[in-house]
Structure 1
Amino acid sequence: MRPDYRPDIDGLRTVSVLSVIFYHYGLGRFTGGFVGVDVFFVISGYLITSIIYREMEQDRFSILAFYDRRFRRILPATLLAIIGTGIVGYFVLLPKDFAGFGESAVYASFGFANFFFLWNTGGYFDSAADLMPLLHTWSLAVEEQFYFVWPLLLLLVFRFSSGSRTAVVATLALIIAVSLGASILIVERNQQVAFYMLHTRAWELAIGALLVFVPAIRHRLAAEALAVLGLALIAYGVFALTSRSPFPGLNALYPCVGAALLIWPTAQRTMVARALSLRPMVFIGLISFSLYLWHWPILVLYRLYGIGDMPGTYEKVALILLSILLATISLYAVENPIRRRRFGHHVTIPAGLSAAAVVAVCGYGIVAMAGIPSRLDPDVRYYASFLDFDTPNRRDPACFITSESAREGLSFESDRCLAITADKPNVLVIGDSHANHYVASLRQLYPGINFAQATASGCQPTIKPVGSKRCTNLMNDVFQKYVPGMDFDAVIVSARWNNHGIKKLRKSVKALKRHVAKVIVLGPTIEYRHELARLLAKSKMTGRDLMRESRRYEAKAKTQRAVERALSGTSATLVSVLDAVCPRKKCQVLTPEGAPLQWDYGHFTTSGATYALQKMKLPLPTTSSNLASSALH
């Protein structure tokens, strides 16, 4: 063991990795356990810089030798975890999930996972990211990018300053100031970028690096006090912060400064350092890298074997123990043997890059083969194919305005979407995505009616709506301009009704009735806690009736009753979607042709909407007011 080895740092690794694990597994009140990654960053910055600078002072630093060590330290365990995840995923993941894994594996193999998750998630705390098996590799990517840049920059500063420690410290201070400033500014504007990117995280690694150049604390009482303060700051981050806290930014100072105070060299070991140096703490610290690598995909794969629900407490403990077992095997059977073998950088680097390339090619192959659906039962493949149902070509982006429409610069085309015909009844459909999913089927079922459309995601179809501006602007125009100024024979109002919309529904219907003869309000439909397509596919794989376990009938029935009360006494016609698809509380999940009625938690497929509308028998007009007016004259 090296004479400069510090067991307390391995103990600090244990604190950081267990914080992350308990946060991910939802054990205890570790609401900010994700800050364990920030503690890792500080540790890494300190250890890597201490090695590099010592070698530079001894005039024996080699960039290639440094990369050789990094390759042997990081790649074997990382690639092993990716490969293991892929093997298990082959048997348990649906094609869409497996293809997503394959794409993330390409990026993770070469240390760019942070870019993949920046581009493909709504953020680290987004619910969709919770079921991505390689999500945690974003932090490895940040470290690897730092390892690529920092030695080169440190070498330049060292050479041009003739080894001046002051120049190195000044460089680190500048990195900390600029990167922390960027983190504080960007986290308010774009938390995803601030969370995933090196330029907003570099200051955390630089704080660790700065500790290499600070003098040791010699006063015993000061050392003890600072160690306790450091532990308290980390504990505050772990237990007080939440996924809703702006992060990183200023909130990342708690774990980073706390870790720095614990790592700060002291003339004598503190009580906290002794506690961190206990053998169980050191052991977990030694396997912490592999434990971090394994704990997340094990949890995600277990969840995706079912329908995505979090496991129970006993299952969580069992999964953590399995993670510890795999991490221990990885350390002693893979990591240590490879780290101890000195092949030389002329072997290690090409071999490492080749191994990463092979894994990346395999990942790309999974993507190219669309998740290899042929490995699954035909019925499973068929149901799972509906998970990709909501593609842009299934909706009119100019008549259904979404966040994607806004990003693409598209706006509502009133001339086309609200076109009136003189030879047919004209019916306007307004609402959110739960109105849009009926439009294609309405046109198919009622070719003798002209259906206009004004739909947008992000608010309720009521007067003075609250929500996304793209939606509220459109709904205000519907009530103030389009309906009063155009000759519609009826209006169909549909939405994923919530309390805010229901409270304004009565007044909204009365406003519509001043200008149209008939207002038809569609009630809520049945919803599931997970995508119905996934439930059907997983039910086929596991033999369980997962639809019954995930169905939210009572909640939707309660909403239905609230809509009924809101419309009581008005002349609007309420049509129960719930009764149409769930007669006598027995919910239909497939159309007569065998297609899923809904593709996600509640949106209809086209055939599902057709089936539901046939059951609803809407009281639509058979004669246009334009035609009636012409007949009178």
Structure 2
Amino acid sequence: MNRYRSDIDGLRAIAILPVVLFHTGFSSFSGGYVGVDVFFVISGFLITSSLNNDFRAQTYSIAAFYERRIRRIMPALFAMLLLTFLVGALMLLPLDMVDLGTSMWGACLFVSNLTFWSLSGDYFGLPSERQPLLHTWSLAVEEQFYIFFPVLLAILHRFMRDRSITKLLAVLFVLSLALSIYASVRSPVANFYLLPTRAWELLAGSLVASGLRGPTSRRIAEIEGAFALFLLIVPIFAYGPNTPFPGISAVPPVLGAALIIHSGLGDSMSSAGRLLAHPLLRFVGLISYSLYLWHWPIIVYTRYGLLDVNLAQKFAIVAASVGAATLSWRYVERPFRRTGAVMGRQTLFIITSSVLAVLSIAGFLVARHGWEGRFPVAVVRAADKSTFQGPHRECGLAYDRKRTVETLCVLGAPGVKPNFVVIGDSHGDAAAPAVFDAARAVGQAGYQITATGYRPLLGFEKVGEQSKYRYLNRLTVHVLDGHPEINSIIIPIYWRQAVTIDGYLSSDGRRVASSSSVELGLRTLIMRYPKRRFLLIASSANSPLFGANAATRARLFHYHNFAPTVPIQNFRAMEASYRGVLDRLGNLPNVQVASYASKLCDARACYGLINGNLAYTDDNHLSYYASRLLIPTYKQFLMRAAQKKAGGQRTSKVDSESR
């Protein structure tokens, strides 16, 4: 296929515009991320078409293929990486510069998807406002595909006919899609970032390019084009951060993109194709690669410097992104794209290798220490959340350190047998120092079982962290079953994330609604130990303006009246997602509920600063100062639980003697 497809340039526009608007923060485009999947389909189609033409003309050359890829991808990418690094050197705090160095190294070697996957978060959970190269994960997926696919296709063309090749590609498509559907339940983070679960999207384009005939009539082309636009547009507005993705949810946009491309294979262009071929959409499509490269660093650095952006500034970000993309396309992309236009093949490879090496080394060196010498020591310390976390943080990570009953931390009053346990996720880790301070004051000691993302939900496992949940649930039961002297359990967890973001599997492998899983799992734990007292701790608000990093940026960029807040109505709306679960559990006879919101919020707002002190270490974790605000509650709870236990023992003794 050699003819120019103006509708495909328009399809690129349909792909990039929702991505940019979603990333910029226009909430109506909550599913704008599906544009990346549309790009994958387009890439698979164009690359396969180009390779098939080479094979049929017997002009295939792996060197020529990679030369085209280098001319297409590298110049604009290098320009973006270099400028992102220079701006980062001026703006980014050391820990953020470490992240930039790591991700720059990953971007240069096209392993960004592996880099961000290894952070054990997710695309929506990462501190994305401080990751200017987060978007390069999709480029890494494409380039990894391009490493293997041309070689595979060359081998297949040597030994198989076109129809057999198409059938084999269809098999690979089905296998990858099936793996993606399976991983969307079992390992959603890997599913999002890794090539094996994304390959089917590129292969969808490859299948259209590998022997599929165009529509046999104008009417079929019209129906196909209209249905394709429906499949493309609806997810952009209907999907959101909580939509399991990719997997089944990715089928509509992928199918829509494939149908648009297929509808244009016939002799006449459909109405959808003519719409996409509009000059304005075609222009946006032409600059779409540069727009994808530049929009995200512009968003990140704008938010980094301004801390937050209003509606006018969002529009300014979009305009600046389009302007930067236009310049990049005109003066970087186009001059390098034509073979021989700027330099010969050998020179191109040498320069590309050299730039890759320099940028990789720079990224590696920066990742070592974040170039701390750019700032005074006091600034470096103030920006580090560990400065505000308090003591005993080494007692977390119960799963990573494979804690056992014998190796769990025992904290509180020295020389006292533990009679309580703190169990929870990283919010439990943040609250634990204050709990043990309270225990020390009342002469008690306890165990700590905390790990990032862990909630003691008996009978349930978190999607993607099944092994962690099995291990820690087993440890929790062993501690409570094996130590009858334990009379109280304190459970501080990140409730909003637990019931709205994370997914869970029941013991028989079924996916269960998050709120139901949290309620049933905690209820099972509580009912298993009816004679123990439970204290459930609800967290307060969260905001990207909270924490050490934001406060330090406010100082650096001279925001003298920095006083971050979350309007109380926003917090109440967030709290509503878990309040019902918490209230129902709180009605159980051996359960008490407490909330940090009672100390960090009033009738107007929730506050990121209390009496001039940081209430949070980052956007959602409490500082040591704030965690201590509930010490009176912890002391009262621990003393009552101990008195109840002692009273029960005395009653049992009297009953025994009377018998």
Q: 2: CA distance between counterparts of 1:237 and 1:572?
A: 42
Q: 2:188 aligns with which of 191, 195, 201?
A: 191
User: Which residue identity lines up with residue 368 of structure 1 in the other structure?
Assistant: R
Name whichever of 427-436 and 85-94 sits farther off.
Answer: 427-436
Q: 1:201 aligns with which of 198, 215, 219?
A: 198
Q: 2: CA distance between counterparts of 1:236 and 1:487?
A: 54
Q: 1: CA distance between counterparts of 2:217 and 2:481?
A: 74
User: Which residue identity lines up with residue 174 of structure 1 in the other structure?
Assistant: V
User: Which residue identity lines up with residue 405 of structure 1 in the other structure?
Assistant: A
Which has the larger Rg?
A: 1
Q: 1: CA distance between counterparts of 2:228 and 2:608?
A: 57
Name whichever of 18-27 and 35-44 sits farther off.
Answer: 18-27
2:447 counterpart of 1:453: yes
Q: 1: CA distance between counterparts of 2:561 and 2:395?
A: 33
1:168–1:455 Cα change, 3 Å: closer
Q: Which residue of 2 aligns with 1:351?
A: 351
Q: 2: CA distance between counterparts of 1:576 and 1:272?
A: 54
Q: 1: CA distance between counterparts of 2:472 and 2:46?
A: 52
Following superposition, the deviation at residue 167 of structure 1 comes to: 3.3
Q: Which residue of 2 aligns with 1:364?
A: 364
Q: Which residue of 2 aligns with 1:142?
A: 141
User: Which residue identity lines up with residue 74 of structure 1 in the other structure?
Assistant: I
Name whichever of 522-531 and 174-183 sits farther off.
Answer: 522-531
CA contact (8 A) 2:419 2:486 kept: no
CA contact (8 A) 2:231 2:256 kept: yes
Q: 1: CA distance between counterparts of 2:299 and 2:220?
A: 42
**Partner of 2:564: helix, strand, or coil?**
helix
User: Which residue identity lines up with residue 453 of structure 1 in the other structure?
Assistant: Y
User: Which residue identity lines up with residue 543 of structure 2 in the other structure?
Assistant: R
Following superposition, the deviation at residue 453 of structure 1 comes to: 2.5
**Identity in percent:** 30
Calculate the aligned-residue CA RMSD, in Å: 4.9
CA contact (8 A) 2:490 2:537 kept: no
Q: Which residue of 1 aligns with 2:214?
A: 216
Q: Which residue of 2 aligns with 1:316?
A: 314
Unaligned runs of 5+ residues in structure 2 are 463-468, 497-514, 650-659
Following superposition, the deviation at residue 376 of structure 1 comes to: 2.8
2:377 counterpart of 1:383: no
User: Which residue identity lines up with residue 291 of structure 2 in the other structure?
Assistant: L
User: Which residue identity lines up with residue 204 of structure 2 in the other structure?
Assistant: I
Following superposition, the deviation at residue 37 of structure 1 comes to: 1.3
Q: 1: CA distance between counterparts of 2:633 and 2:279?
A: 68
Q: Which residue of 2 aligns with 1:243?
A: 241
User: Which residue identity lines up with residue 197 of structure 2 in the other structure?
Assistant: T
CA contact (8 A) 1:520 1:575 kept: no
Q: 2:259 aligns with which of 258, 261, 278?
A: 261
Q: 2: CA distance between counterparts of 1:437 and 1:525?
A: 11
Q: 2: CA distance between counterparts of 1:28 and 1:582?
A: 26
Q: Which residue of 1 aligns with 2:399?
A: 406
CA contact (8 A) 2:110 2:144 kept: yes
CA contact (8 A) 2:548 2:618 kept: yes
**Partner of 2:169: helix, strand, or coil?**
helix
CA contact (8 A) 1:68 1:345 kept: yes
Q: 2: CA distance between counterparts of 1:281 and 1:462?
A: 50
Q: 2: CA distance between counterparts of 1:443 and 1:229?
A: 61
Q: Which residue of 2 aligns with 1:252?
A: 250
User: Which residue identity lines up with residue 155 of structure 2 in the other structure?
Assistant: L
Deviations 1:249-306 (A, max 9, x none): 2332212221122112110122222211111111111100000111112112222224
Q: Which residue of 2 aligns with 1:401?
A: none
1:549–1:263 Cα change, 3 Å: same
CA contact (8 A) 1:429 1:439 kept: no
Once the two structures are superposed, the pairs formed by residues 61-100 of structure 1 within 5 Å of their partners are 61-100=60-99
Following superposition, the deviation at residue 544 of structure 1 comes to: 2.5
User: Which residue identity lines up with residue 548 of structure 1 in the other structure?
Assistant: A
2:488 counterpart of 1:486: no
Q: 2: CA distance between counterparts of 1:204 and 1:567?
A: 46
2:618 counterpart of 1:600: yes
Q: Which residue of 1 aligns with 2:512?
A: none
Deviations 1:472-518 (A, max 9, x none): 77777787774xx3287xx695736979999x99xx99x99988xxx
Q: 2: CA distance between counterparts of 1:261 and 1:586?
A: 49
Q: 1:168 aligns with which of 165, 177, 181?
A: 165
Once the two structures are superposed, the pairs formed by residues 460-609 of structure 1 within 5 Å of their partners are 482=483, 485-486=484-485, 493=490, 495=492, 529-530=543-544, 531-544=546-559, 548-550=563-565, 598-601=616-619, 603=621
Following superposition, the deviation at residue 58 of structure 1 comes to: 1.8
1:33–1:444 Cα change, 3 Å: closer
Q: Which residue of 1 aligns with 2:656?
A: none
Q: 1: CA distance between counterparts of 2:215 and 2:557?
A: 60
Q: Which residue of 1 aligns with 2:323?
A: 325
Following superposition, the deviation at residue 449 of structure 1 comes to: 3.7
CA contact (8 A) 2:405 2:478 kept: no
Q: 1: CA distance between counterparts of 2:147 and 2:595?
A: 61
Q: TM-score, normalised by structure 1?
A: 0.79
Q: 2: CA distance between counterparts of 1:227 and 1:521?
A: 58
CA contact (8 A) 2:413 2:444 kept: yes
Q: Which residue of 1 aligns with 2:231?
A: 233
Q: 1: CA distance between counterparts of 2:214 and 2:608?
A: 71
User: Which residue identity lines up with residue 53 of structure 2 in the other structure?
Assistant: R
Q: 1: CA distance between counterparts of 2:411 and 2:372?
A: 41
**Partner of 2:214: helix, strand, or coil?**
coil
Following superposition, the deviation at residue 452 of structure 1 comes to: 2.2
Deviations 1:12-36 (A, max 9, x none): 1111111212222232632322121
1:546–1:225 Cα change, 3 Å: farther
User: Which residue identity lines up with residue 394 of structure 1 in the other structure?
Assistant: R
**Partner of 2:29: helix, strand, or coil?**
coil
User: Which residue identity lines up with residue 323 of structure 1 in the other structure?
Assistant: S
Name whichever of 201-210 and 581-590 sits farther off.
Answer: 581-590
CA contact (8 A) 1:35 1:252 kept: yes
1:41–1:314 Cα change, 3 Å: same
Q: TM-score, normalised by structure 2?
A: 0.76
**Partner of 2:447: helix, strand, or coil?**
strand
Unaligned runs of 5+ residues in structure 1 are 398-403
User: Which residue identity lines up with residue 175 of structure 2 in the other structure?
Assistant: V
Q: 2: CA distance between counterparts of 1:347 and 1:587?
A: 58
User: Which residue identity lines up with residue 335 of structure 2 in the other structure?
Assistant: P
1:495–1:143 Cα change, 3 Å: closer
CA contact (8 A) 1:463 1:475 kept: no
Q: 2: CA distance between counterparts of 1:200 and 1:586?
A: 41
**Partner of 1:452: helix, strand, or coil?**
strand
CA contact (8 A) 1:187 1:247 kept: yes
User: Which residue identity lines up with residue 540 of structure 1 in the other structure?
Assistant: R
Q: 2: CA distance between counterparts of 1:464 and 1:187?
A: 20
Q: 2: CA distance between counterparts of 1:577 and 1:238?
A: 36
2:35 counterpart of 1:36: yes
Deviations 1:290-338 (A, max 9, x none): 001111121122222244x4x2222111101100100010011111111
CA contact (8 A) 1:30 1:238 kept: yes
CA contact (8 A) 1:580 1:615 kept: no
1:607–1:231 Cα change, 3 Å: closer
Name whichever of 24-33 and 451-460 sits farther off.
Answer: 451-460
User: Which residue identity lines up with residue 146 of structure 1 in the other structure?
Assistant: F
User: Which residue identity lines up with residue 207 of structure 2 in the other structure?
Assistant: L
Q: 2: CA distance between counterparts of 1:46 and 1:512?
A: 59
> How many correspondences in the alignment?
603
User: Which residue identity lines up with residue 319 of structure 2 in the other structure?
Assistant: L
1:493–1:392 Cα change, 3 Å: closer
